[in-house]
Structure 1
Amino acid sequence: MQPWNTFVEGDNLDVLERLAERGERFDLVYIDPPYNTGNDFAYRDDIRGTRASGGAGATTRHEAWVAMMRPRLVAARAVLADTGAIYVSIDDNEAAYLRLLLDEVFGEANFLAQVVVNLNPKGRQLGRGFAGVHEYLLVHARDAKRTVLDASSADGVDPADFPLTTPDGRRFRHLPLRNTNKKFNPVTARTLHFTLWGDPETGAVRTTPFDGAQEIGPVFGDGTPAVWRWSRPLIDERPDDLVCRRVRGRTGERVDVFQRDWLHRDGAGRRKKLRTIWLAEEVGSTDTAVAELKEIVGHVFESPKPTGLVRRILATMPDDARVLDFFAGSGTTGHAVALQNAEDGGTRTCLSVNSAEPTREGSNARNAGLLTVADITRARLRAVAATVGGGYAEEGASC
C-alpha cells in the first residue's frame, strides 16, 4: 500500500518540473510560500536586482517575489489534475500581487475564493498601526467547471436547526418553497411561476388538481407574485418532501407550500456551504500550531500552520485525493493528511517537498540537530508515521 506521506528534499521548481515530465497529477495543491518581509528568498533562481535600491533597473521586492513564484505556479498547474484545485496561504504583503499572479496562471474564470483566516485572534502587537489578526487563503481551480472541490462542510451543521421529527426519528425543518429573494420573480424566472395544488388537511402537494386540494400560487408576504424554488419536474419527482400548511401572514390566514428540509437525506451526511471567514476556534491558530509541532518534534519552527486549517481544506476534496505541498515547511500538510485519514478512513496521500535551507545558528532547530528546514519536515513526517500511522517514504530530488 502506498504510504500516506512521501518526502522529497530538493529545489521545488526542479522537483515540480520532474513530476510533470513523469506525467504525475495531483488533485489538491496546498502551499504556504515564504511571505515577503523584505528578506532574500532561499531559492537558486537567477533574479537580477532583487533588492530595491532606487537605481535604474532595480527590481522591487514585490517584483522579485512574483518572479520567484511565477514559474513555480506555472509548474504547479502542469501537475494539477483537470478536476483539481490549489490553495495558497498569504498575508497582506503580497496578497494583491498573488491574486493577480494566480489569475494570470490559472485564469480569472477559475478563481474560487479569497478566504480570510483568523490565525492570530489576539492580534499582532508589535510595530505601529493595526493589530493584524488574519491572513488569507486564495483558491483557484484548474478548471472551475470541472473541479471536484466541494466548498461545504459537515462541521457547521447544527442539528438544533432541524427541530421537527418524523415518527421514525428523522429530523427536518420547514422551508418555504416560495423563493424569498425578490430578484427572482415572474419576470426574471418565468418558468418557476406556476400553480400548485395542496390539501392543508393531509399536507399533500401536487402539480395537478386532486380531490380536496386548493389552488396555490407563489406570492410574497405582501401578496405580490413570486416564484417557486423548485421546477415542476422536481416537484413531481419529490412530492413527499413537500407539505401544504395553513399560515398567517400580513393579509391574514392563507395556504402555502413548504419543503421538508432533512438533516440527513437518503443516508447522506448534511453539509453546509463554507463561509469565507475561518475563525481560529474552527481551524486553529498559530499558537495551537506551535503546540502541535512542539508535542511531536519540539519547538523548532517559528510560524507553522495549524493542522485544523489544512484538514478543513482537505475536507473540500475527495477522501482519496493526491495532495502536493511544495513549500512543505514544518510538514503540517502531511501531518493533516494522516490525521484526516485516521479519522475518516480516507486514502489520501501527500507528497511534501522542501529544500535544504540551513536553519538559523542558535535556533531551537539547530540546537536540536536539525541543520536544514528539510530536516524539520523529515523529522515531523517520521514522527507522524510513528504516532498516527500511514507510513513514510522518501524519494530523491530527481523523483
Structure 2
Amino acid sequence: MGRVSTGPCNSFTEGDNLAVLAGLPAASYDLIYIDPPYNTGSAFAYRDRFAGHQAWTAMMRPRLEAGRRVLADTGAVFVSIDDHEAAHLRLLMDEIYGEQAFLAQIVVNLNPKGRQLGSGFATSHEYLLAYAKDPRKCVLDASSADLVVEADFPLVAEDGRRYRRLPLRNTNKKFNPLTAPTLHFAIWGDPDTGEVRTTPFPGAVEIKPVFGDGSPAVWRWSRPRIDERPDDLVCRRVRGVAGDRIDVFQRDWRHPTGGARRKKLRTIWLAEEIGSTDTAVAELKDVLGHVFESPKPTGLVRRILDTMPDDVRVLDYFAGSGTTGHAVALANAADGGRRTCLSINLAEPVRAGSNADLAGYRTVADITRARLQAVAARVEGATYAELVEAPRQARRADS
C-alpha cells in the first residue's frame, strides 16, 4: 500500500518498514523516533522471525541502518527500549551511528507504581537512546522551555520582572588566570547601590574575581559585554572563608530579551512531566477507544520534538498506535510549527478477542491510520474528504 495523507501534517504508509525505508530518499528526515518490539518472548510481527537476542539484533540491524540512511546530517534519532534489549541496542547504535554520535541514555519513568506482576523488582522505567547522525552538525538542543518555573527565579525587580543571582565569576576552577587570562581583570562596584562598571566611579571599590578560598579566578563576561549590559549586574557584600568581601552577580532574568528561556534536560524523565502508560492509554481511548495495550504518551514524543526546530520532518517506522503523529499534530497546534510526520506500520493482525478485534480493527496498521485520521479531525480541523476520500482513492490507485 502506498503513502496516504491522514491530515495536514501527517502521512501514513502500511507495509514492512524495511521495504518502505528502501524507497525513501537519502537524508530526507530530520528526526526519527521509533518504539520497536522489545523481545519479551512473543514472536516478532516482521518476516524475519526468530527467537532470542541474536534474532532481535538481526531484525533491528538492517532497519537501523536504513533509518540512518534517510536521516539528515543535522538530525537525531531516539529509540525507546526496555531492559530486555537495552544493552544490545546500545551496541548496535554504537556500531551503526558511531560511539561519538551518542547523545544520551535517558531513563523514562512510564510506570510510577511499578509493574506488580511476576517476581523480582517492580520495574517502573524504560530507556530512550539518543544519537546524532553527525554530532558536529546536529541541531538538537537538549533543553526545554517547559522545565523553567517561577520558583527558579525567587527575586523580583522594581519593574516586576523575576530573576535570580548568578556569580559573575566563573565557578569552574579549570578556568583561571592561567587558562583564560583575558577574563581576569578588575571591575568597579558600589555595594550600597549595586552599580557595576568597568571603570572607576565615585563610591566604587575595585573588585577582582576570586574563588571562595581567595584564590584568583576569572569573570564569565568580557569587558565589552559588561559595558553593554551593566544593568544586568549587581555587586553585593558576601561572607567568605576569609571574612566579608564584595562580589559581583548577574541578574539572570526569567524572561530574557531575545527569546524564551530554556532549561537543560535531565537524563531522567518523570511520568509527572511527560505522562505515563496509563495516561497514554487514556488519551488514545479519548480519540479512538481502548484498542491498544501499551501506547507511549504523546508527552514523551513532544519533549523529543521540543529539542528540534519547529519545522522538522519526523519519521516513525515502528508507528504502533500512532503516538508520534498525534504528538506532531499537538505540537503544531500549540506553537504554530510546521512539523510533518511519516508513520510506517506493518499490517500485523490484532490479537483475536482483544479490544481492537472487538472494535472491528483487523490490523495494528488500521489502528494507526484511524488514530491519525481522528487526531487530524479533532486537532487540525481536517475535512472528511481529506481524511477518508483521499486515502480511499490512493488505496484504489495502488491496488
So what's the TM-score if we normalise by structure 2? Answer: 0.90
Partner residue, 2:126: 135
2: CA distance, partners of 1:173 / 1:62? 50
**Deviations 1:182-237, CA, capped at 9 Å, x for gaps:** 34434454443332222334433333444543221111222222222223443344
1: CA distance, partners of 2:87 / 2:210? 44
Bigger drift between 231-240 and 219-228 goes to 231-240
Letter of the structure 1 residue corresponding to residue 38 of structure 2: Y
**Aligned residue among 242, 248, 261 for 1:257:** 248
Identity %: 74
Bigger drift between 155-164 and 245-254 goes to 245-254
Partner residue, 2:40: 37
Partner residue, 2:108: 117
Partner residue, 2:24: 19
Bigger drift between 313-322 and 164-173 goes to 164-173
Q: What SS does structure 2 have at the residue aligned with 1:15?
A: helix
Bigger drift between 197-206 and 83-92 goes to 197-206
Q: What SS does structure 2 have at the residue aligned with 1:357?
A: coil
Structure 1 residue 282 displacement after superposition: 0.7
Mapping for residues 82-161 of structure 1, pairs under 5 Å: 82-161=73-152
Partner residue, 2:9: 4
2: CA distance, partners of 1:119 / 1:189? 44
**Aligned residue among 275, 299, 305 for 2:296:** 305
Q: What SS does structure 2 have at the residue aligned with 1:388?
A: helix
Structure 1 residue 179 displacement after superposition: 2.2
Asked whether the equivalents of residues 222 and 250 of structure 1 are also in contact (C-alpha less than 8 Å), the reply is yes
CA RMSD of aligned residues (A): 2.2
Q: What SS does structure 2 have at the residue aligned with 1:101?
A: helix
1:224 aligns with 2:215: yes
Letter of the structure 2 residue corresponding to residue 229 of structure 1: R
Mapping for residues 26-65 of structure 1, pairs under 5 Å: 26-45=29-48, 50-51=50-51, 61-65=52-56
2: CA distance, partners of 1:155 / 1:199? 37
**Deviations 1:328-365, CA, capped at 9 Å, x for gaps:** 00001111111111112112111100010111111111
Structure 2: where are the runs of 5+ without partners? none
Partner residue, 1:197: 188
Q: What SS does structure 2 have at the residue aligned with 1:19?
A: coil
Asked whether the equivalents of residues 338 and 390 of structure 1 are also in contact (C-alpha less than 8 Å), the reply is no
2: CA distance, partners of 1:187 / 1:388? 57
Asked whether the equivalents of residues 116 and 136 of structure 1 are also in contact (C-alpha less than 8 Å), the reply is yes
Asked whether the equivalents of residues 4 and 390 of structure 1 are also in contact (C-alpha less than 8 Å), the reply is no
Structure 1 residue 181 displacement after superposition: 3.2
**Aligned residue among 234, 243, 246 for 1:243:** 234
2: CA distance, partners of 1:390 / 1:350? 17
Structure 1 residue 245 displacement after superposition: 2.2
**Deviations 1:224-283, CA, capped at 9 Å, x for gaps:** 222222234433443332222222333333211111111111142211111110111111
Letter of the structure 1 residue corresponding to residue 70 of structure 2: V
2: CA distance, partners of 1:10 / 1:30? 18
Distance 1:24 1:142, change over 3 A: closer
Bigger drift between 315-324 and 207-216 goes to 207-216
Distance 1:143 1:208, change over 3 A: farther
1: CA distance, partners of 2:172 / 2:81? 35
**Aligned residue among 59, 62, 73 for 1:68:** 59
Mapping for residues 173-184 of structure 1, pairs under 5 Å: 173-184=164-175
Structure 1 residue 93 displacement after superposition: 0.7
Q: What SS does structure 2 have at the residue aligned with 1:381?
A: helix
Structure 1 residue 160 displacement after superposition: 2.6
Letter of the structure 1 residue corresponding to residue 62 of structure 2: P
Bigger drift between 7-16 and 292-301 goes to 292-301
Structure 1 residue 77 displacement after superposition: 1.1
1:294 aligns with 2:297: no
2: CA distance, partners of 1:234 / 1:85? 34
Asked whether the equivalents of residues 236 and 246 of structure 2 are also in contact (C-alpha less than 8 Å), the reply is yes
Asked whether the equivalents of residues 200 and 244 of structure 1 are also in contact (C-alpha less than 8 Å), the reply is yes
Distance 1:189 1:129, change over 3 A: farther
1:167 aligns with 2:158: yes
1: CA distance, partners of 2:55 / 2:180? 50
Distance 1:389 1:204, change over 3 A: same
Mapping for residues 207-218 of structure 1, pairs under 5 Å: 207-218=198-209
Mapping for residues 258-337 of structure 1, pairs under 5 Å: 258-337=249-328
Question: How many residues align structurally?
Answer: 384
Mapping for residues 314-393 of structure 1, pairs under 5 Å: 314-389=305-380, 391=382, 392=387
Letter of the structure 2 residue corresponding to residue 100 of structure 1: L
Letter of the structure 2 residue corresponding to residue 6 of structure 1: S
